[in-house]
Amino acid sequence: MLRIKILRYIPEKNEKYFEEYIIPKPMKVIDAIEYINARFDANISIRYYCKVGKCKSCFVLVNKKPVLACKKIVEKDCTIEPIGNPIKDFVHV
């Protein structure tokens, strides 16, 4: 079991806050977000296209380090944040 902290940004409320989730096993960041959305109905927004490290659309910060969400495997408790100022969660214009 891994504890994941995610920085949310909800533009309608102009509010940033952390949410914590538990995922059952190590997995890629993008898969962890999809798991959390499916399991907890979290509605976390992230934009990605290729899921194989080519389009570079899925950069996020994991423990303050920039990584591709489709490549980085979460193997221990961590914090996931957007890079820069998103328009919602992890989505940029």
CA dist., res. 90 & res. 12, Å (int): 15
Q: Which is nearer to ligand FES, 17 or 49 (CB)?
A: 49
DSSP codes, 38-91: HHH--------S-SSSSS---EEEETTEEEETTTPEE-S-EEEE-SS--SBTTB
56 lines the binding site for ligand FES (CB under 6 A): yes
Q: Which is nearer to ligand FES, 32 or 58 (CB)?
A: 58
Residues 13-52 that bind ligand FES (CB under 6 A): 48-51
Report, in Å, the least distance between residue 53 CB and ligand FES. 5
Q: In the Cβ-directed half-sphere of 68, how many Cα atoms lie within 13 Å? A: 12
Applying CB under 6 A, among 19, 25, 43, 55 the residue interacting with ligand FES is 55
Q: Which residues bind ligand FES (CB under 6 A)?
A: 48-51, 53-58, 68, 70
